[in-house]
Structure 1
Amino acid sequence: MPLFDTHCHLDDPRFADDRAAVIERAIAAGVERMTTIGCADTPDAVGRALDIAKAAPERITATVGVHPHDASKLDDALFAALEAAAHDPLVVAIGETGLDYHYDHSPRPAQQAALRRQIALARAVGKPLVIHTRSAPEDTLAILRDERARDVGGIIHCFSEDAPFAKAALDLGFVSSFSGIATFRSAEAVREAARALPSDAILVETDAPYLAPIPHRGRRNEPAYVEHTAALLARERGEAREAFDAATFANALRVYGLA
């Protein structure tokens, strides 16, 4: 069955020298679809992910957004660029946006304001959200609830919380996407969440070039490696691999409005 890497960063400089080969390796590994995530810190950066998708629209879609690390840079000019790009048919979601209280590269009020503003954009264009949340579970859920993010739903990307959080997010219309973190020995709470969710609420991703799964941990990650996360999660859930892959692929198509 085909795989869908729902979250990778193909515009990352670490792919500059061999991006085409990375995409070919993914296809050879059964990854039929990829969504490359836009994380812009200037208006000119908004189109980078979208340009990659336009070069292979049958395989690759894109998002546009401002990462919480760069939330303090979300001024009117950058927001206008996001808004313009958000209407492109190859843009399937807004994000990644969210809250990161672990690194706090932007002040927390700026992160919260940027998240609220991007939720409003998602609701305006009728596209789902890709949410980054780290060390901020309560505030993330509160803002999603307050800003009526349920109207568009979306994805908790690179899931690193616990089962109660996953269920609370699902109640707000957000499925959970599992990265290579799920393969790490220390991530039992993440695996528990994956076991607890219904089959229509799970996605798989790489977050490449970050967080390569075992057995590639410590190396540059790439979309082909989503296979390892999918295999691990199917085993954890006690599901046949073919059924798991079919479900996660269908889920990705549904959430991204590609079905």
Structure 2
Amino acid sequence: MNSIKPKFINVLFSSRLIEVLEFILEEPKTKKEIEKTLKISTSHLAQVLSKMVDMGLVDKRGDIVKILPKGEFILGVNRVAKGYDEFLSRFGNFMNTYILDDIPEWLISRFYELAEIEIAERREDVFSPHPEFFEHLSNSKRIYGYVTVFFKECINFFLRLAEEGREMEIIVNKGVLDKIVENFTEGFGKGIERKNVRFYVSKKDFQVFFYCYRCFLFDILLFKKCFFLTTRKIFFANLGWVIVPNSKSFIKAIKKYAPDKLEEVIK
């Protein structure tokens, strides 16, 4: 049996047709406006419009060209296809290693909507805590996290949580540790002496991943930009704080999956 070739598939990959549809999306345009703005010849535009009229994508009356609902739908499909293409070009290499089906649907949708997801440099002048960051921490009895960015305003807040008896297991890289010691020597010393606090530093100044076994993330993004993906057993994040209120196996998991990454600073 012969395969059926989708009728509209060529439209999705025709940059000129999509260009015209996008140009007339907000309001009808004259053929002269289309030719001038899109730099398309009169003869070529005539061919393009004839095809689009036959497919029911636009309505052409005299010199005026108007997009039809079917044309708007095609634009929507094209945007989704471009979103998938961008996702594959940026993160496609993960697909053969990790189970991308485990990425929450709401996060997948943000990939396509924002088109800004990227592995970013760890710079404290670029990233700032999410507005709900402190609120969620204040309501947490147990706090487990990893950070590669130093935020001066966070330190006293965490020291207060430690004094209140919150169970805390925190991992930092050496750069963050150095800044904490430099700016909060006395408070830091008292904080790590508490029995409810476990403090770790990574052996390597790695930027991309940390490992956590079977944990759950608050329904918030703690930084303006953050890409993460999950498998059924391991959670990965590229930078910043991730708060895991119910995972008692946080540090054990890191020791299990990445034993060469960490050394315990305070036992």
TM-score, with length taken from structure 2: 0.27
Larger Rg: 2
More helix by share: 1
TM-score normalised per structure 1: 0.28
Greater RCO between the two (CA within 8 Å, min separation 6)? 1
